[in-house]
Amino acid sequence: MAKSHQLLVSVPSTSCAPIWDIKCSFHSLIVVLIVSLVAGVVYLTGESGKLLFEDNSNSNSDRGKENEESLTYSSSNNKCNLFSGKWIFDNESYPLYKEQDCKFMSDQLACQKFGREDLNYQHWRWQPHQCDIPRFNATTLLEKLRNKRLVFVGDSLNRGQWVSMVCLIDTAVHDSSLKSMHYRYNTSLIIFKVKDYNATIEFYWEPLLVESNSDDPVHHRLPERIVRANSIEKHGSRWTNADFIVFNTYLWWRRPHIKVLWGSFEKSDGIYKEVKMLRSYEMALKAWADWLEIHVNRTKTQLFFMSMSPVHERAEEWGKAKGENCYSEKEIIQEEGYQGNGSDPKMMKIVESTMDELKHRGLNVHLLNITQLSEYRKEGHPSIYRKQWDSLTEEQIANPSSYADCIHWCLPGVPDVWNELLYAYIFNNY
Ligand SMILES: *[C@@H]1O[C@H](CO)[C@@H](O)[C@H](O)[C@H]1NC(C)=O
Ligand SMILES: *[C@@H]1O[C@H](CO)[C@@H](O)[C@H](O)[C@H]1NC(C)=O
Ligand SMILES: *[C@@H]1O[C@H](CO)[C@@H](O)[C@H](O)[C@H]1NC(C)=O
Ligand SMILES: *[C@@H]1O[C@H](CO)[C@@H](O)[C@H](O)[C@H]1NC(C)=O
Ligand SMILES: *[C@@H]1O[C@H](CO)[C@@H](O)[C@H](O)[C@H]1NC(C)=O
Ligand SMILES: *[C@@H]1O[C@H](CO)[C@@H](O)[C@H](O)[C@H]1NC(C)=O
Ligand SMILES: *[C@@H]1O[C@H](CO)[C@@H](O)[C@H](O)[C@H]1NC(C)=O
């Protein structure tokens, strides 16, 4: 029952609905969020002297050989924060694949196809200050994923990362008869399978992690957002047994209040209460953490959580005119440590403390802190270069920034680097 991937990338929708178009849901929630990311550094140490990352002194060495080498690099007491670094223009090694070569590309992210002419956004490499990240090798990853499931669970940003992962692998597996795309559970679950490895790379739509009225993969854009704060089993049962799980949840929470339901959506006797967003976010993450603690097989499953993906909707934050956004941006932000209003440090803090508590309870979820590195990439969003699900009005056409998507990321682009970092973690087994 493999359907064409076209389905995946062109599910039509009413009004403002596609899964991946979070933007429209944010018009109603211009929440002011002051950003100064919570301190705390993720140090990455290798297992017993076996280290994936090179010393900085070797960082300019032959990148072509680094993959083999770095997997066996040995060094002691080497700590490297992969998330502190800078972007380097590198049009020789990047992009890691060509947009038009990826058969499973999403029209929401295919910026070149939709007319973007400046393609520099495809050519940036992330360079941590203290080490190199290993170059992505699809074959090596597929070996690791043999007879295994890698599942991305979350919202459209996570879906973008999943598409990136599928493209990274797709372009490396040349025989198309060995690949397939399936839809399950009424398309909440999409499965990309590489047959000769019996490996699957899956995406599960679950934008708030807990059960919510936004769970329908197509029709979820409702005026009011309701979560069942304590309920995760309906979703959890779909992914708990996977070998690698990558979670995210952030943007769907960005409103002042969320309605919380105690009871079920099916029955009418539930109790509803408006709860401040941060509080409901905390409740949801707690329910998620409790579920993991009880249900995840620790010897089998590796868990990851992607930190907030920042949005670039207010150009005044990087010194442009008020009212502008990422539209027509071509340059990255060079200022080290730049933080805009598109990420919320209070939410980051809740994520961190949830992970810390889980760690105390013996369960390690790796927080991939991609917020800062993505902050620099104001030019990496689709802007107006993507499929528009609704036809544009004359007013919009006259004012392109009014419909620019400054939330998602063009591919090839930023999410490929998130996946390189994920790859580094998967092989180091932190
Ligand atoms: C994320 O990374 C940035 C930059 O390296 C750092 O300032 C911030 O404290 C980190 N946050 C966490 C939760 O590690
Ligand atoms: C890479 O970028 C440099 C500097 O912008 C340029 O001179 C060169 O022609 C580019 N090479 C390719 C292969 O695009
Ligand atoms: C990827 O790794 C395989 C071995 O697992 C190796 O044969 C191949 O050359 C590597 N590819 C690249 C592009 O480094
Ligand atoms: C294929 O992979 C699945 C996990 O995705 C596993 O349950 C199953 O046993 C594997 N099949 C074979 C023949 O190994
Ligand atoms: C899929 O949707 C149909 C119709 O809405 C419903 O009857 C069915 O139970 C759903 N299946 C699953 C697995 O959720
Ligand atoms: C947990 O996973 C390991 C490795 O796959 C397996 O050997 C073990 O039986 C699993 N434990 C449970 C309780 O399922
Ligand atoms: C965030 O927005 C508020 C309100 O517009 C503004 O006062 C503040 O300076 C902004 N912060 C940054 C970093 O731009």
**What is the whole-number distance in angstroms between the Cα of residue 332 and the centre of ligand 2?**
17
Please determine, for residue 72, whether its predicted confidence score (pLDDT) is greater than 70: no
> 147 CA distance to ligand 4 centroid (A)?
5
Ligand nearest the Cα atom of residue 144: 3
User: What is the residue extent of each domain of the chain?
Assistant: 89-428
Q: What is the pLDDT of residue 62?
A: 40
- Region 4-31: what's the mean pLDDT? 32
Count of C-beta atoms within a 10 Å radius of residue 22: 22
Hey, which of 148, 180, 198 would you mutate to test ligand 4's pocket, going by the most ligand atoms within 8 Å of its Cβ? 198
Ligand 6 binding site (Cβ under 6 Å of any ligand atom) = 297, 299-300
Nearest protein CA to atom 12 of ligand 1, as residue: 40
Least confident piece of the model among 123-137, 227-241, 339-353: 227-241
Segment (H or E) for 282: helix 277-295
- Ligand closest to 353 (CA) is 1
Q: Which residue(s) pair with 235 in the sheet?
A: none
Distance 197 CA to ligand 4 centre (A): 9
DSSP H or E segment with residue 262:
strand 257-262
* Distance in Å, CA 409 to ligand 4 centroid: 33
Question: What does pLDDT average to over the chain?
Answer: 82
Alpha carbon of 299 to ligand 6 centroid (Å):
7
Residue 55 binned pLDDT confidence (cut-offs 50, 70, 90):
very low
> Catalytic residue positions?
156, 405, 408
Q: Render pLDDT for 375-411 as a digit per residue (tens, 0 to 9).
A: 999 999 999 999 998 889 999 999 999 999 999 999 9
Confidence of residue 172 (pLDDT cuts 50, 70, 90): confident
Residue 78: pLDDT band (50, 70, 90) is low
For tokens 């207010």, name the residue. Answer: 314
- pTM of the entire structure? 0.83
pLDDT at 372: 97
* Rounded CA separation 193/173 (Å): 11
Closest by CA to 212, choosing from 264, 162, 277, is 264
- Do residues 411 and 160 touch, judged by C-beta distance below 8 A? yes
Instruction: Decide whether any atom of ligand 5 lies within 6 Å of the 186 Cβ.
Output: yes
- Segment 97-147, tens digit of pLDDT: 999 999 999 999 999 999 999 999 999 999 999 999 998 999 999 999 999
Q: Which of 147, 294, 297 to mutate to test the pocket of ligand 6 (most atoms within 8 A of CB)?
A: 297
Cβ–ligand 5 distance for 399 under 6 Å, the answer no
Q: Which ligand is nearest to the CA of 216?
A: 5
Of 44-58, 291-305, 359-373, 398-412, the least confident: 44-58
Gap between the Cα atoms of 9 and 402, Å rounded: 23
What percent of the chain has pLDDT above 90? 65
Looking at residues 202-230, what average pLDDT do you find?
87
What are 289-341's pLDDT values in tens digits?
Answer: 999 999 999 999 999 999 999 999 999 999 999 999 999 999 999 999 999 98
Maximum pairwise Cα distance, the chain: 65
SS3 2: coil
